[in-house]
Amino acid sequence: MSSTICQRRTPTFAEHRPALQEALVNVSQESFFAFAELCGIDRFGDALAAVEAQSEGAAKRWLRSRVDFDGAFAGTVELTLPHALATELLMSFTGLTPEDGLTDVHVYDGIGEFANMVCGTWLTHACAHRRFDLQPPVVTAVAAPVTRAADGQEELVLVNDQPVSLRVEFRAS
């Protein structure tokens, strides 16, 4: 008698692109009260240049939030966005203001929750009858994003006219 090993199929970004787009737009608009729209690489590049041309300091800082997930398939959702946008989204989400003493810890927590909500919304709607476990978000300061949209694993979005890169990497298991 022979045994069979059940392997999970690793999906492609293209299969999940519409659900990912919808999740990012819905979370932005419904939970963070921000306007989100898909854009091409030229418009994204213009928005990226505008952020980089701003004054020094926090305006030039970027954050990357990663959420690992495992279940019917495994991978990572990664959002890269300007620190200033992360702060703006946190204030919209919580009702806090700069006068409330916002710190980087608050901003990191807020953008981690944003990525967590995008990942959870996407997986819930795209794979409603499957179980997934999400790991806590990991947020790090990074340099300005290098767009890799040509590799087909990234979605370019403007949130309140600021550039946000949504990247999903699937892992074989």
CB atoms within 10 A of CB 20: 24
Q: Which tens digits make up the pLDDT trace of 27-63?
A: 999 999 999 999 988 999 899 888 888 756 555 689 9
For residue 46, what pLDDT is reported?
A: 92
**Does residue 81 contact residue 163 with C-beta atoms inside 8 Å?**
yes
Residue 111, domain member (yes or no): yes
Residue 53, domain member (yes or no): yes
pTM, two decimal places: 0.88
**Does residue 162 contact residue 82 with C-beta atoms inside 8 Å?**
yes
**In terms of residue numbers, what domain contains 95?**
13-171
Residue 84, domain member (yes or no): yes
Q: Which tens digits make up the pLDDT trace of 81-119?
A: 999 999 999 999 999 988 998 899 999 999 999 999 999
**Does residue 169 contact residue 95 with C-beta atoms inside 8 Å?**
no
146: number of CA atoms within 13 Å, CB side? 2
Supply the CATH number for residue 102's domain: 3.40.1550.10
CB atoms within 10 A of CB 82: 26
Residue 62, domain member (yes or no): yes
Q: How many domains does the chain divide into?
A: 1
Phi and psi angles of residue 139, each rounded to the nearest 5 degrees, phi first: -115, 130
Residue 116, domain member (yes or no): yes
